[in-house]
Structure 1
């Protein structure tokens, strides 16, 4: 089954949505040696800023693609790393790089996406304490750029991800949230192989919009049911552990599958 490695995330999704804020604080705690993360690398050359919308969409597509790659299937070279990551908290960290430091990460296992001046790398997840020095050199802060003009109407089969009107997150933080959305979508779709295959065949397209207050209110109401919104309207929610920028338990993204 494609996406078999995502089974623990699919099983955990509704449980995580159902926790109250105090329970989120308890649940998020892990021993330092157990913390794993998927690193999202954003190329930020001084004279060529990335597109806000494109970088966010790439984070979603890349995070899903890592888990659905043949190398993440049983007996694949990425399987153990991705399996262990999916079995716990799906932390993601966005880092920025340019010049030689960016080029040095090209040989690391992962997926690179390019569209014009926007480049994003999604790396195979691993223990944070074992982070490759070439990645550790890249800064976590300073990842923000101004939102650009919204792209054309998303493809009919795109995962359409909405960010809340408030709080306003930095691009790096928002990329982690859209990355979660892409990965959760892949996990939920793994239980519906024909739809998952259709998304895969299309290239795992994703699109991102900032919701209006009215849109967000409607979407939040529709997803406040511990996961049942996926069965009915193909809606999913991302709930953040609150380590940075937002309070624990904040819904940071809501996505609708386009098929």
Structure 2
């Protein structure tokens, strides 16, 4: 199970930091690294909100399972350095020629329904290629035209659910980063057999906005993996933004 071994090795440093964060410990940053996620948003045909979130969550783990992220691969050193510090993500949008240029840079693109999201290897924020740094960050807000139908989809045993909190409002861009964190943590805390089955299926996920009663039940579950936000943007520090469950 090479993908399982690779993911387990890469994610181990992040697990230790996550445990300290959940315990309320905050460590100073050294060099600031971030992973860039770019969503394709064409004016005439923007993607649906849930499709964009689902594609982002999948793209993050697809990149980590890519052979180029493995030890000896061209992305490994940056991925490993990122894992030993805060796991930051920056979500940007692109259209037209800017999307095509972004697709030409090293990374992986995941397509889900109406959405295309490209994940890039993490890097120092001071060394971001200009092709990415010029892409817009703020104001990524999408909608779900068929939201009611999406909420009725039922996960199966190999499809985890990423539950968005009803206690905080997030833009699509912020939520994409949060579900990306959740998919990483889910991979980190899953047992080998479950992780292997998930990898074999190409990391499907179901993203749902939790109702308040659902959230109240979810926060009591010992098997729910929580994303606790540092509070740099949009939400208060310490906010649990996503809970991931099988």
Common topology (TM > 0.5): yes
Contact map agreement 1:96 1:142 (CA 8 A) in 2 = no
Q: Which residue of 1 aligns with 2:159?
A: 158
Q: Is 1:220–2:216 an aligned residue pair?
A: no
Q: Provide the rounded CA distance (Å) in 2 between the counterparts of 1:163 and 1:116.
A: 20
Q: Identify which of 237, 240, 246 aligns with 2:235.
A: 246
In the alignment, the residues of structure 1 paired with residue 215 and residue 84 of structure 2 have an alpha-carbon distance, to the nearest angstrom, of 30
SS of residue paired to 2:168: coil
The separation in 2 between residues aligned to 1:6 and 1:171, in whole angstroms, is 25
Deviation per residue, 1:98-145 (Å, 9 max, x gap):
011111011212110123431111111111110110001110012101
TM-score (norm 1): 0.87
Does the Cα contact within 8 Å between 1:237 and 1:254 map onto a contact in 2? yes
Q: Residue 101 of structure 1: SS of its match in structure 2?
A: helix
Q: Deviations over 1:222-252 (max 9, x none)?
A: 3xxxxxx2xxx3x200000000000111000
Which whole-Å deviations, capped at 9, do the CAs of 1:165-215 have from their partners, x for residues lacking one? 1211000000000000011112223xx322211110011001111111111
Match of 2:40 in 1: 43
Where do residues 63-212 of structure 1 align in structure 2 (5 Å cutoff)? Answer: 63-148=60-145, 149=147, 150-151=149-150, 152-189=153-190, 192-212=191-211
Cα distance in structure 1, aligned partners of 2:61 and 2:102: 20
Q: Which structure 1 segments of 5+ residues have no match?
A: 223-228
1:155, 1:205 within 8 Å by CA — same for their partners in 2?
A: no
Matches of 1:201 and 1:163 in 2, distance apart? 25
Q: 5+ residue gaps in structure 2?
A: none
Q: Secondary structure at the match of 1:2?
A: helix
CA contact (8 A) 1:2 1:193 kept: no
| Alpha-carbon distance in structure 2 between the residues aligned to 1:68 and 1:12 | 20
Q: Distance in 2 between matches of 1:116 and 1:15?
A: 37
Matched, 1:256 2:245: yes
Name 1:30's counterpart in structure 2: 29
Q: Provide runs of 4+ in structure 1 moved above 4 Å.
A: none
CA distance in 2, matches of 1:155, 1:137: 40
- Distance, in Å, in 2 between the alignment partners of 1:187 and 1:131 is 27
3-state DSSP class of the match of 1:208?
A: strand
CA apart distance, 1:54: 1.1
Hey, what's the Cα distance between the residues in 2 that align with 1:40 and 1:102? 12
SS of aligned partner of 1:205: coil
TM-score, with normalisation over the residues of structure 2?
A: 0.92
Query: Larger deviation: 61-70 or 133-142?
Result: 61-70
